[in-house]
Amino acid sequence: MKRYYFIIIIILFLPITAQNTELLEIQKKIIKEFSKIDDYKVDINVKINMTGFRMPKKKIKMFFKKPNKLNIKTKGFAIIPKNGINNNPNDLFEMFNYNNIDVNRTIRNNKQFYFISGSVNPDSLDIPIANYQSEKPNLNMSLLVDAKEWIITEVEIFLDSEKFLSIKTDYININNIMVPEETKLIIGIKEISRIKNNFNNEIVFNSDNDLAKASGLSFNNDEFKGEITMNFSNYVINQGIDDKVFINN
């Protein structure tokens, strides 16, 4: 009888172990691809179309250096969506609750992809979440991974089964290194009055925030939605960046 119990346990746990192994292999290959980058600087043109929000097209310069040093320079006021410009895959994988994650293969435009989905720790997100612990929502995330280039082309985050953040990135190959060419973020947040006064530490959803009000952000509408498009150009990769660039950032 003990032998049968042992066989049942093996049968039950084999799929989970195999899937976790596959996930770790995918993660390893993505991180290996990203690790080709030691540093880079790039120009980014930012275009924003959001509910009740006015900001002209902005050109910013971004500096990156391993492991997570980031500096952004721009003239005047700009919304900088950190979830869209920081492409470190480690940050995304660390958001997952590894006890609840699925890996599936799929085909898009005759190319092979991996579709990874699972629950997310709400504390891992630098985006607005409910003010009260009792209101903490159910968060899930999905990643679409190019199975040839080992890059993450799409990220979607769901709040209580409703998609509220989508990030899609097209890449370009520069010296055998895949880097973003265009990233598009689509945001949709309902019941904005319930959320924290925190949006990637760049803009505060608060009716007393003079900067936000001056930019036309409306607090009368309890729904916030919009689109941010970023085009990347003039990459300088792995040429070295002085640490002084990142002081006070």
Lowest mean pLDDT among 12-26, 101-115, 121-135: 121-135
Which residue, 71, 76, 74, is CA-closest to 54?
A: 76
Name the amino acid, one letter, at 85.
Answer: I
- Check: CB of residue 226 under 8 Å from CB of residue 167: no
Calpha distance 183→228 (Å, rounded): 8
pLDDT per residue as tens digits for the range 199-211 = 443 433 333 344 4
Other beta carbons less than 10 A from residue 222's beta carbon: 12
Could you list the residue range(s) of the whole structural domain that residue 222 is in? 2-246
Q: Check residue 249 and give its pLDDT.
A: 58
Calpha distance 164→148 (Å, rounded): 28
Q: Both tokens of residue 137?
A: 């929502």
Which residue, 168, 170, 109, is CA-closest to 143?
A: 168
What does the buried/exposed string (b/e) look like for 126-153 if buried means 16 or more CB atoms within 10 Å of the residue's CB?
A: ebbbeeeeeeeeebbbbbbbbeeebbbb
C-alpha to C-alpha distances, 2 to 6, 7, 8, 17, 241, nearest whole angstrom: 6, 9, 10, 22, 62
What is residue 226's three-state secondary structure?
Answer: strand
pLDDT higher at 98 or 82: 98
Residue 189, pLDDT > 80, answer no
Which residue, 120, 29, 31, 46, is CA-closest to 80?
A: 46
What's the distance, Cα to Cα, between the start and end of the chain in Å? 63
Domain count, the chain: 1
Which residue, 116, 167, 176, is CA-closest to 143?
A: 116
Q: Check residue 205 and give its pLDDT.
A: 38
Name the amino acid, one letter, at 89.
Answer: P
- Band of pLDDT at residue 58, cut at 50, 70 and 90: confident
Residues above pLDDT 90, as percent of the chain: 38
Q: Check residue 233 and give its pLDDT.
A: 97
C-alpha to C-alpha distances, 163 to 142, 158, 166, 187, 204, nearest whole angstrom: 10, 4, 8, 9, 22
Residue 198, pLDDT > 80, answer no
pLDDT higher at 122 or 6: 122
In the DSSP assignment, the letter for residue 55 is: -
pLDDT higher at 15 or 222: 222
Q: Both tokens of residue 31?
A: 């991180």
Q: Check residue 197 and give its pLDDT.
A: 41
Residue 52, pLDDT > 90, answer no
Q: Both tokens of residue 165?
A: 């953040």
Q: Check residue 206 and give its pLDDT.
A: 38
Q: Check residue 146 and give its pLDDT.
A: 97
- Check: CB of residue 54 under 8 Å from CB of residue 216: yes
Calpha distance 70→22 (Å, rounded): 31
Name the amino acid, one letter, at 26.
Answer: I
Tell me the average pLDDT of the chain: 77
Instruction: Give the CATH number, domain containing residue 26.
Output: 2.50.20
Q: Check residue 76 and give its pLDDT.
A: 64
